Amino acid sequence: MLWGLQLALGRKFNESVLSQESRDGMDHLIELKRLAETRGLEGWKYFSRVHRFWILWFALLLLGIALLPVIIGVVFLVGDVFLYRWIRKRERTTPKASLESLETSRAFAKELQVLYEKVKVETSHLPKEKDSHGLPEGSAFVGRAVWISVDTDRSSTVFADRKGIVVRVFKHTPDRCKEAMAIELASPPTTFFPWPRRLRHIIAEYYNEWDSIQYSFTKGHSYVRLVRLNNKTVLKSDTYRIKDTSRVGAGSITAWPSFPTEAFLLNRHESG
């Protein structure tokens, strides 16, 4: 909580410069955040269980149709009907944990903004620290760690979210993107199309107007196009060609370790 307020205000300070009311407000927000995360996890577990029941229902339906000529097939179909009615009844009941998670998250955001305004006044006499993350030079990002989350709906090669290290920021990019950087995956996954091989290097291509490399490291996550690097010699070059790559998909990329939730919420409020 204290780190998020420091990042949002651009000042370094400790709790001793804050009033007792502000310190109590920070403790209350920490409890709210924990409650929201707990309720959100309970809601996610509920919907995950319902999703598995739907898979079971379709499996039983197919099995019942296959065994229809046999008496046991009738038993499966009858059981499938009762399972369908039970699932529909469960789905009509909105999980209370999900509603509580949303309400607690809204209360957390409101109280965080109030606390931010108080701390801003109480620390106004302290000097602002220079932004050490907003580095204009592309080479300054080399060696920085990033976290990659693959969009499974828009990706042909799907692998679990993982960490990577920036090894090259290209000065010149193809026309289809405005910025690009090469990333070495910390734990290379195995892909099977068109044949099994290890995916070690990928290129993150920035094509949205509001996304940039600097934004990924200072403000939040950016949505990028991910391509496989087939020609490793481009790691020593300032540019690359489209034929040196092959499609992986799309996903979001952010700095690692990621900024706390408080800093993201306050930065979004300030920019809005």
pLDDT for 31: 86
On the CB side of 180, CA atoms within 13 Å amount to: 28
Residue 203: HSE in the Cβ half-sphere, 13 Å Cα cutoff: 30
Pick from 75, 21, 85, 14: nearest CA to 53: 85
**Do residues 180 and 173 lie in contact, with contact meaning Cβ atoms separated by under 8 Å?**
yes
Token code pair at residue 219:
């403000």
Per-residue confidence (pLDDT) for residue 97, from 0 to 100: 66
DSSP 237-262: SS---GGGEEEEEEEEEEESSPPPHH
DSSP element (H, E) containing 193: none
**Token pair of 197, please?**
């091989």
- As given in the structure block, the two tokens for residue 202 are 């990928």
Q: What's the CA gap between 191 and 100, in Å, rounded?
A: 40
Residues in the chain: 272
Amino acid, res. 51:
H
Mapped onto helix, strand or coil, the DSSP state of residue 52 is helix
Distance CA 228, CA 215 (A): 23
Name the region of 50 (left: φ>0; alpha: ψ -120 to 50; beta: rest): alpha
Residues sharing a CB contact under 8 Å with residue 134, sequence separation 6 or more, in sequence order? 214, 218
Residue type, 24: D
For the chain, give every domain's residue range: 2-122, 138-255
Nearest 10 degrees: CA dihedral of 256, 108, 127, 12?
-50
Question: Which residue has tokens 């990333």?
Answer: 183
Closest CA to 34 of 132, 111, 105: 105
DSSP 8-class letter at 131 = -
pLDDT at position 127: 79
* 3 state SS of 168: strand
Give me the tens of pLDDT residue by residue for the chain, a chain 272 residues long: 777 777 777 778 777 778 888 888 888 888 888 888 888 787 777 777 777 888 888 888 888 888 777 777 778 888 899 988 888 877 766 666 677 777 888 888 888 888 888 888 888 887 766 554 444 455 688 999 999 999 988 888 888 899 999 999 999 999 999 999 999 999 888 887 677 888 999 999 999 988 899 888 877 788 999 999 998 899 999 999 999 999 999 999 988 877 666 666 666 555 55
Residue 258 CA to residue 135 CA, distance in Å, equals 17
Q: Are 157 and 248 in contact (CB under 8 A)?
A: yes
Q: Which residues contact 151 (CB under 8 A, 6 or more apart)?
A: 223, 249, 250, 251, 252
Chain position carrying tokens 């080479």 = 139
pLDDT at 134 (0 to 100) = 43
